Structure 1
Amino acid sequence: MFDNLQDKLEGAFKVLKGQGSISEINVAETMKEIRKALLDADVNYKTAKTFTEDVKQKALGQNVLTAISPGQLLTKIMNDELTALMGGSVEELNIKQNPTVILIAGLNGAGKTTFTGKLALHLKSQKGKKPLLVAGDVYRPAAIDQLEVLAGQVGAEVYTNRESTDPVAIAMEGIAHGKKNGNNVIIIDTAGRLTLDDALMDEIAEVKKATQPQEILFVVDAMTGQDAVNTAKVFNDRLDFTGVVLTKLDGDTRGGAALSIKSVVNKPIKFIGTGEKMDALDVFYPDRMASRILGMGDVISLVERAQQQFDEKEAAILQKKIRKNKFDFNDFLSQIQQIKKMGNIKDLMGMIPGVGKMMKNVDIDDNAFKGIESIIQSMTPHERENPDSINQSRRTRISKGSGTDMTEVNKLIKQFEDMRKMMKQFSDPSAMAKMQKMMKGMPGGGMR
């Protein structure tokens, strides 16, 4: 995510490397490089110019403490200003009314229908809502079919009227159905439209007028960069939408839309799409995104994703097994599958400070665990539950069954054994007590 922008900003900061103080000259040179980096990332020119001027004035107005370098100070200022540029704080959905009506709008191909399904899953699993999806796209072939499939995947209800070609009537019917059916959130999917098509723009304005939605979300493809911002302005002038959704942020995104859209239309980014899977939708946190753009990671989001996937009861059972040295390949496979549910592996690595930069040129796809899973799935139930029983003949059979080389099987089993020993060590209260005692004897008395 934003790899090219990260590289160019890092190059800009090198101007201050080794400098003992911040001066008008070295800051001006750094700002010039930062402005170039932002423009290359397809950030709106006016936004880039105003942003670098603000950073420059704040940098020149501060003294550099002896404990930090000019580069570190500028990074802190950049982080604060990027956060402010993208909205400052998270903007939650307004879903207090019962039912809450949410209208989805955007261009053709922006990913509105997919987002509609993702939003339903988010509201259902994270907010405990009972969403209804309304199929209001009467123009695109198979749009209704797609929404029905997505609704089935996320376990949501869908309202359709295949006989009607009136999106306003369908929207109102959907709201009436939702009220009768006890749905507390009604999400209306609409047809994609071109900003130049006045008839279609008038049509969605009529849908808004009739439905009086609490939220109007403008869905835009982040990969279109500055075009996304220009389109957002036109839609906002007609609809006065309440928030923006940036899709395909996991692709080759330069970052222009994320960095410019708030300053141009003065509407918050509320969600970002980070993959094709239905759970690949994140609430947009400006401060966390700023940290990621500057290569500082995003540990909070990583922990939140983990919390969503790991069950507390299962974790307690697993902890008991580890203490008794009963952790087996079934448990190991279960942990891998839970990690996979958290999202793209490379994206997850990018959330760890410092690791994203190291992994930048490393290609990690969603099949990264495929070989390990094949090996474990080629074991018998007895072997999975009793790893110590896997002798040489069993390893040969597992290798053939999984279609992997014997060295890969041996390597996995060795890594599993080492991991099990380490887990046992750290779960042993006496070992922890010894470690704490040892640390107290160190200079400074260990950890405080």
Structure 2
Amino acid sequence: MFDNLSDKLDNALHLLKGHGQITEVNVAETLKEVRRALVDADVNYKIAKTFTDTVKEKALGQNVLKTLKPGDLMVKIVKDELTELMGGDAEGLDLSGHPSIILMSGLQGSGKTTFSGKLANFLKKKKAKNPLLVAGDVYRPAAIDQLHVVGEQIDVEVFSDKEEKNPVKISERAIAHAKSNGFDVVIIDTAGRLAIDEVLMKEISSIHHTVKPNETLFVVDAMTGQDAVNTAKAFNDVLDYDGVVLTKLDGDTRGGAAISIKSVVDKPLKFIGTGEKMEALDVFHPSRMADRILGMGDVVSLVERAQEQYDEEEARKMQKKIAKNKFGFDDFLKQIQQVKKMGNMKDLMGMIPGAGKMMKNVDIDDDAFKGIEAIINSMTPEERQNPKLFNASRKRRIAKGSGTSVQEVNQLLKQFGQMSKMMKMMQGGGGKQLMQMMNQMK
């Protein structure tokens, strides 16, 4: 996500980070490269030019040329303006209704159905809501089936009626069902088309007029680039929706839509989809995204994701096991599962300041833990609890059962042993011992 843009912006701003003389000409040349980088990322040329003109005006107005670190100040100005361009502050959802009604709109293939499930999962887990999903696409039976599959994955009820062909009536019945059965949020997934047409617009307008939603969200595929922005504008002209959702931001996208969509439609970008899993949904924070684009990472979001997977009771049990030197491979496997739930590995690395740049040419597979999991799953319950049991024959059996080599099994055992020692020292506050051990491992 934004890798190419980040590299080009970094190269452009590098001109001002050295110790050489900084002039108005250098500033102009740098901003020319910044504008080019934005256009290459599929940001509309007029928006990119207005952006760089504003940055230049502020840079010269703040006497960047006279500061001790002009490059650093320029980066700050670019970051602040990027944040403003993308919306300034994060926007929440209006959940004041009884029930709250959220209406989805967008073209076919934009990811509306999957996002509806992700949003239901988000509201259920993070907002303690009891959502109801509504299958309002009457043209594609597969869409109804897909929503039921999604609902089963996240344990959320789905309201559908394959006999009824009027999406307005389906929506009204679903809301009545929600009121009678204690659902406090109704998420209506509607039909899309391959392109904007009059039938689609009339239908979504009719549903909107009848159910009077608290929130109408426009879902758009980020991989369509500037077309996503144009489609968003066309929908907004008819529907006057409340916010935008960008899906597939983890794919091969240049990021232009995320940067410029607020400027074009004057509606906030509320959520971004960052993967296929139901948990791969983030509230869009413009300032955090600006940090990531400029290679500064996003530690706040990383910590938030970690906290979502943090279980206090499980942590207490783990501490007791570490204290008693009983931390085993089953516990290690649980830790791996928690890390995997946080999102895809490349996305997580991008949240660590500086790590994204270091890892840009490294292919980080989402199945990075696959070999480790296979090795642990090939162990007997006794072996998982007591690593001292391992001998040559056991290692050969485990390697064969996991499709790995004895060398890989040995490497995991060594790493596990080192990690167990560190955890034990951290538990006991043995800072000196830990430092000595780390020096020995160098």
TM range (shorter): over 0.9
In the aligned structure 1, how far is the partner of 2:171 from the partner of 2:98?
Answer: 16
In the aligned structure 2, how far is the partner of 1:380 from the partner of 1:203?
Answer: 59
Q: Specify the alignment match of 1:108 in structure 2.
A: 108
| Residues 412 and 180 of structure 1: CA distance in aligned 2, closer, same or farther (over 3 Å) | same
Contact 1:195–1:234, Cα closer than 8 Å, also in 2: no
SS where residue 142 of structure 1 aligns? helix
SS where residue 110 of structure 2 aligns? coil
Q: Specify the alignment match of 2:440 in structure 1.
A: none
Give deviations 1:151-208, integer Å, cap 9, x for gaps: 1111111111111111111111111111111110001110013554112211111110
| Residues 398 and 433 of structure 1: CA distance in aligned 2, closer, same or farther (over 3 Å) | closer
Give deviations 1:344-399, integer Å, cap 9, x for gaps: 01111111111111111111122111111111111111111111222223222222
| Residues 16 and 327 of structure 1: CA distance in aligned 2, closer, same or farther (over 3 Å) | same
Between 239-248 and 382-391, report the one with greater CA deviation: 382-391
Task: Map 1:343-382 onto structure 2 (within 5 A).
Answer: 343-382=343-382
User: TM-score w.r.t. structure 2 length?
Assistant: 0.95
Contact 1:22–1:60, Cα closer than 8 Å, also in 2: no
Residue 15 of structure 1 pairs with residue 15 of structure 2: yes
Give deviations 1:87-133, integer Å, cap 9, x for gaps: 11110111122110100000110000111111110111111111111
Contact 2:141–2:162, Cα closer than 8 Å, also in 1: no
In the aligned structure 2, how far is the partner of 1:86 from the partner of 1:357?
Answer: 23
In the aligned structure 2, how far is the partner of 1:367 from the partner of 1:40?
Answer: 31
| Residues 406 and 433 of structure 1: CA distance in aligned 2, closer, same or farther (over 3 Å) | closer
User: TM-score w.r.t. structure 1 length?
Assistant: 0.94
Give deviations 1:253-298, integer Å, cap 9, x for gaps: 1011000000111100110000111111111111111111111111
The CA deviation at 1:37 is 0.3
In the aligned structure 1, how far is the partner of 2:384 from the partner of 2:66?
Answer: 56
Between 83-92 and 386-395, report the one with greater CA deviation: 386-395
The CA deviation at 1:69 is 2.5
What is the letter of the counterpart of residue 202 of structure 2? D
What is the letter of the counterpart of residue 290 of structure 1? A
User: What is the Cα-based RMSD across aligned positions, in Å?
Assistant: 1.7
Deviation beyond 6 Å, 4+ runs, structure 1: 433-436
Q: Specify the alignment match of 2:236 in structure 1.
A: 236
Q: Specify the alignment match of 2:269 in structure 1.
A: 269
Between 25-34 and 11-20, report the one with greater CA deviation: 11-20
Report the identity percentage: 67
Q: Specify the alignment match of 2:127 in structure 1.
A: 127
Residue 136 of structure 1 pairs with residue 114 of structure 2: no
The CA deviation at 1:19 is 4.4
Unaligned stretches of 5+ residues in structure 2: 436-442
Task: Map 1:368-407 onto structure 2 (within 5 A).
Answer: 368-407=368-407
Q: Specify the alignment match of 2:117 in structure 1.
A: 117
Task: Map 1:42-57 onto structure 2 (within 5 A).
Answer: 42-57=42-57
The CA deviation at 1:327 is 1.4
Contact 2:42–2:256, Cα closer than 8 Å, also in 1: yes
Task: Map 1:198-217 onto structure 2 (within 5 A).
Answer: 198-217=198-217
What is the letter of the counterpart of residue 61 of structure 1? G
Q: Specify the alignment match of 2:148 in structure 1.
A: 148
What is the letter of the counterpart of residue 268 of structure 1? P
- What is the number of residues matched between the two proteins? 435
SS where residue 366 of structure 2 aligns? coil
Between 398-407 and 291-300, report the one with greater CA deviation: 398-407
What is the letter of the counterpart of residue 180 of structure 2? K
Q: Specify the alignment match of 1:192 in structure 2.
A: 192
What is the letter of the counterpart of residue 105 of structure 2? A
The CA deviation at 1:433 is 8.3
